[in-house]
Amino acid sequence: MVSALYAGTARVIITPPLGCRLDGSYSLDFAEHILDDLFANVVVLDDGCVEVVLIAADVTSIPGPTVKEIAERIEQTCGISKHHVIITPSHTHSSTSMGTTLLGKLPVHWDYVESVKLKMVEAVDAARRAKQPVRLGVGRSSNPNHVFNRRLTAPDGSIRMNWVKDDLDGCVSEGIVDPEMLVIKLVDENGRAVAFLVNYAMHNNAVGRPNISADISGHMTKVLQSVYGESIVVLFLPGACGDINFIDFRTYEWGNPENYKKIGLGLAGTIMELDPVLYYPEELGLSMTYTAVNIAERLYTDRDTKEDATFGTAATEPFFAYYKEARAMHGHEEPGSHEFTIYCLTIGSRIALLTNPAELFVELGLEIKQASPYDYTFLATLTNGLAGYVPTREAFARGGYEIRKMPVFSYLELDAGERFVQASLALLQGKA
């Protein structure tokens, strides 16, 4: 029996002004060029009983309170439950902050944040009004060309980050990656593409400063629009990529301004190659479930401030100064706990879209996907909140960048990854 599915889409520009503070770094940088516009991309799904909002926005991250306010405004304006709203940042580092600041020092452009909130709600309302019958295709492919574990093992066993440009002699990358790309395509009654949802575990930050850009996913979208029509909406959902980026440190062309376009083209090519063999299920009923997870903060330790070669010998960003300042400011405080909500949207009996607010290490994402009872498990990280980096226990033991405590960016207890995996699987298995 074929179940009906309706979808509406909208796309709104959210490009910040020149001179704004760029997000996603410990350095204080301001935008000098606009390479391409940023967008909030919206899909509203409706099976006649359940209505769901999916938003993918070209920003680095969106803290929990901001997500909550947007969802509540959508409920008030559009009549869609705030618990049926999924908001995912593309994680471009060429945008400005949506509310986070480093140690209270870096500026937040609150007028811009408010304008994005308003535009998102307006876009959801427009998408809701534009709903039409659609068919849904789903599929998976693999693109190993643009995913690399960024934690390198040095000859002495310590960790180097693969973005540094020195002190890498003898380093090897032995870490796990997840090259799987999952794709959902929505088509109208005439077979024309309406939207794509793309899930891929890769950091979306190849452009570099001092530019505003939607980065890799933005160029991927442009390529797809050149083929399927400018009206299509593309939602890029970053997978578990806390320790994954696009840099092959052995061959990467540092300083090449076309890098993000090359990678975006590669991802678009994978999607187009997959398109003819997508599976179109007949069962398309929607269900949304969610569960809360409470996780404590970890204590500061010497691991957080130890100066070593994690960032090479000529690091330009003031990493260690910030780590020491953070510990001096907050090391005396009793660690608190934080509540996060993870969501699971299922489409029929074979498709699940699971959210996580953290920059999960890829090993944790793979554990969730491999144990999922669904044939296609999309894992959207940094979604509906901001929990910072969540490494594995092994990573904490070995050192590196992501394991150092910093408010907002890396602060949860060592068992946070295990807690998120357990809660995710309980949700997927209907036991939450």
- Identify whether the C-beta of residue 380 lies closer than 8 Å to the C-beta of residue 88: yes
Domain count, the chain: 1
What is the SS3 assignment for 341? strand
DSSP states of 342-403: EEEEEETTTEEEEE-SSEE-HHHHHHHHHH-SSSEEEEE-S-SS---EE--HHHHHH--STT
Residue 338 half-sphere exposure toward CB, CA atoms < 13 A: 23
Tell me the residue range of the domain where 110 lies.
6-283
List the 132-133 sheet strands across, edge first.
85-89, 51-57, 39-46, 6-13, 132-133
Q: pTM of the predicted model, to two decimals?
A: 0.97
Q: Is residue 305 part of a domain?
A: no
Q: Is residue 319 part of a domain?
A: no
Q: Is residue 18 part of a domain?
A: yes
Q: Is residue 308 part of a domain?
A: no
pLDDT tens digit sequence for 182-193? 999 999 999 999
Q: What residues of the chain score a pLDDT lower than 70? A: 1-2, 314-317
b (16+ CB within 10 A) / e for 25-40? bbeebebeeebbebbb
The residues, ordered by sequence, that sit 6+ positions from 370 with a Cβ below 8 Å of its Cβ are none
* Residue-level pLDDT at 315: 59
Q: Tokens standing for 31?
A: 């935008």
| AA identity, residue 408 | V
Q: Is residue 402 part of a domain?
A: no
Q: Is residue 278 part of a domain?
A: yes
* Residue-level pLDDT at 1: 47
CB atoms within 10 A of CB 206: 27
Q: Tokens standing for 344?
A: 């699971």
What is the SS3 assignment for 142? strand
Q: Is residue 149 part of a domain?
A: yes
pLDDT tens digit sequence for 63-91? 999 999 999 999 999 999 999 999 999 99
